[in-house]
Amino acid sequence: MNAEKDNQFDNNLRKALHKHTEYVPTDFTDRVLNKIQLQAEKKILARVILLERLSLAGCILLAVSAIAAAVFFTVIYGSLTQQFNIIIYQFTQELANLQSNWQFYFVFLAALGFAGYNLVELLAGKN
């Protein structure tokens, strides 16, 4: 008897709750889709800003590297032209010289390469 009453109560509760629906604004779906689109646009904008900042950092690094090279490696900087001429005519000897200064050339080329890439991105980037 009690089980029957319980079942009836459950069924009535189920029926009553099925009848009820919550009010949802008619433009809700459109607003959700607009929010999603806005979010996607924000992401793209954030990426563009990041790339622009990297480009700027690259340019600054290039300038700083050039200044550092001029100020701290004046001897090497001063003899670059001479070394360049010697490299053409006495390749193996200058290769030994290069090997002893490889750290400087490596850092300078890396910085130059990075700055150059960012300059290209800045000037020719399609975003």
Interface residue with another protein among 2, 3, 15, 82 (CB under 8 A) is 15
- For the CB of residue 49, give the shortest distance to another protein in the complex, in Å: 21
- Options 4-12, 59-67, 82-90, 97-105: segment touching another protein (CB under 8 A): 4-12
**Residue 18, interface with another protein (CB under 8 A)?**
yes
Quote the CA–CA distance of 63 and 59 in Å, as a whole number. Answer: 6
* Helical axes 102-124 vs 91-100, angle rounded to 10°: 90
Q: Based on the number of CB atoms within 10 Å of its own CB, is 119 exposed (0-12), middle (13-18) or buried (19 or more)?
A: middle
Q: Which is nearer to another protein, 32 or 120 (CB)?
A: 32
Give the closest residue to 120 by CA, choosing from 41, 40, 26, 54: 54
Which residues in this chain contact another protein in the complex, by CB under 8 A?
Answer: 8-10, 12-25, 28-29, 31-33, 35-36, 39
